[in-house]
Amino acid sequence: MGSVPPELSTDIQEGAEGPEQIPPELADVHKYIPAPELIYNRADIVSIWVSEFDMWFVNRREFYVQNFYVTQADYEKRSAGYVRIEKATLSREHIIRHLCGIHTIGLYAINPETNSCKWFALDADYNKKETGRDAKADLQAVAQEMKLDGLWPAFENSHRGGHLWLLCDQPVPARVGRIYLYNLLDRLCIPIRGARKNSEGIEIFPKQETLDPEKFGNGLRAPLGIHRKVKRRYWFQDADPNIEAQFKYLRALPRATREEMEALTEGMDMPDDLISKPFVPPLYTGSISPFEQFDIREFTPPPRGSKTNYMTRCPSCAKAGRDKRGDNLHVSPSKDPKKSMFGIPDFYCHGAMKCTFSDIVSACGWRPTHRIQTNQQQEALKFK
Ligand SMILES: [Zn+2]
């Protein structure tokens, strides 16, 4: 075990067998736990690969590491588990060590400054015995469908299934890639992990459309390194299993462009049931509905037309980027005696979307607690 203290040997992740020999060329990093049989000599790592890896995969400089000890300080602290290095800056040295196999880095999917991504990835690692689904077959079905869309996904083997990577020639908004992938998986009826309460299924990276400041989102084990848990190096399937061939393959792989991704998702949104909509409480069955107090005029631009029938912008159409002329919503005095008593008008959308009452109420962000507060306000809102 060299100078690694004995108690650390049990910390090596499952799958480790026997004592590890640390090669002399790694003497400067002897405190790290390598998987010797898989480690490249750092002299074999070509400088251009490091730049390419950075250019293709690194969205932000923060990263994490999938093994126990990364720096001398981590070693001193004896910190266990995956080490997340939020404040560290990913350097060429970190990438070299990753490619050598000395440590394995995880990369975040989103550049927080632009909410864009250099890659999108799907992770499937479920067990067929438990789920009845074959992770690898699911990913291959997805890859096939992507190819029909003119894209060039790269399949990377992993422990139980794999990672399917889609590399972009320039950063693509996270939202665009997510809309594409969610709809694609729905089209193929493949469960998405985390959506619709699925505890298993394919994981889509990134998992956010935008990141709050100080947030990182989710990361994925970077390719071309060693899977620390099973101590294997997994390669992209369509290239020979050596690092040089892998880089050659990735270099030649056609990238998705932003224009392509936008064309593939034109007019699309996330699947309907996955869009978080404002909560609209159900009508209660008492004699006065809280919705009878909803006055559309509080939420729309000044009306045009006559006092008995005017038109204005439909909030729901507007939210969908429609109703540019601002006249989809017709508003007229209510025939309902209760509503007309308070001067609250009826309204309907005659735009192509035919927005329903609840679409419009939701688009206004209105809740039944938004009551008309005073008689004065009621007076002010009455048709004159
Ligand atoms: Zn509308």
- Ligand 1 centroid–CA 266 distance in Å is 20
Residue 187 in tokens: 């089209």
pLDDT at 289 (0 to 100):
56
> Would the pLDDT of 102 be above 90?
no
Output the CA 274–ligand 1 centroid distance in Å: 21
Q: Give me ligand 1 centre to Cα 300, in Å.
A: 12
Query: Which pLDDT tens digit goes with each residue over 257-309?
Result: 999 999 999 999 999 888 876 655 444 333 345 566 788 888 888 777 776 77
Ligand 1 centroid–CA 273 distance in Å is 20
- DSSP 3-state percent helix, strand, coil across the chain (nearest 5): 35, 15, 50
**How much distance in Å is there from the Cα of 311 to the middle of ligand 1?**
12
Cα of 358 vs centre of ligand 1, distance in Å, is 11
**Tokens coding 74:** 């981590």
Q: How far is the CA of 310 from the centre of ligand 1 (A)?
A: 15
Cα 349 to ligand 1 centre (Å):
5
CA angle, residues 227, 229, 235, in degrees to nearest 5: 20
Q: What is the dihedral of CA 89, 95, 97, 102, to 10 degrees?
A: 90
Tokens, residue 265: 């998702």
Q: How far is the CA of 240 from the centre of ligand 1 (A)?
A: 55
Cα 313 to middle of ligand 1, angstroms: 8
> Residue 103: how many CB atoms within 10 A of its CB?
23
The CB-side HSE value for 43 (13 A sphere, CA atoms) comes to 2
* Distance between Cα 317 and ligand 1 center (Å): 4
Identify the pLDDT of residue 193: 92
Nearest to 173 by CA among 220, 114, 218, 216: 114
User: Among 36-50, 51-65, 250-264, whose mean pLDDT is lowest?
Assistant: 36-50
> Domain-by-domain residue ranges, the chain?
6-264, 290-381
pLDDT, greater one: 277 or 202? 202
| Separation of CA 350 and ligand 1 centre (Å) | 7
Q: Find out whether the peptide bond into 302 is cis, omega within 30 degrees of 0.
A: no
**Residue 23: band (very low, low, confident or very high) from pLDDT cuts 50, 70, 90:** very low
Q: Are 343 and 378 in contact (CB under 8 A)?
A: yes
DSSP letters, 329-378, are EEEE--SSHHHHHTTPPEEEE-STT---HHHHHHHHT--TT-----HHHH
The answer to whether 137 touches 197, Cβ cutoff 8 Å, is no
Confidence of residue 245 (pLDDT cuts 50, 70, 90): very high
Q: Report CA(351)–ligand 1 centroid distance (Å).
A: 5
Span from the CA of 88 to the centroid of ligand 1 (angstroms): 49
Ligand 1: distance of its center to the CA of 29 in Å? 63
Give CA separation, 304 vs 21, 254, 260, 268, 383, in Å: 82, 53, 41, 32, 13
Residues in contact with 193: Cβ distance below 8 Å, sequence separation at least 6, in sequence order: 199, 200, 201, 202, 203
What's the CA-to-centroid distance between 321 and ligand 1, angstroms?
10
Residue 322 — pLDDT band, cuts 50, 70, 90? Answer: very high
Please say if the pLDDT value at position 3 is more than 70.
no
Q: Which two tokens stand for residue 7?
A: 């108690």
Amino acid identity of residue 106, one-letter, is: G
The SS3 of residue 91 is coil
Six-digit token string for 321: 């980027």
Tell me the CA–centroid distance for residue 177 and ligand 1, in Å.
Answer: 27
**340 to each of 28, 295, 346, 382, how far by Cα in Å?**
83, 11, 9, 9
Distance 210 CA to ligand 1 centre (A): 27
Q: Cα separations (Å) of 344 from 296, 298, 380?
A: 8, 11, 11
The answer, yes or no, to whether residue 76 has pLDDT greater than 70, is: no
**Which tokens hold the place of 54?**
């950075």
Whose structure tokens read 């480690």?
Answer: 39
- Percentage of residues in the chain having pLDDT higher than 90: 46
Using the mean position of ligand 1's atoms as its centre, give its distance from the Cα of residue 355 in Å.
Answer: 4
Residue 7 — pLDDT band, cuts 50, 70, 90?
Answer: very low
Q: For residue 357, report the distance from its CA to the centre of ligand 1, in Å.
A: 9
- How far, in Å, CA of 246 to CA of 221, rounded? 16
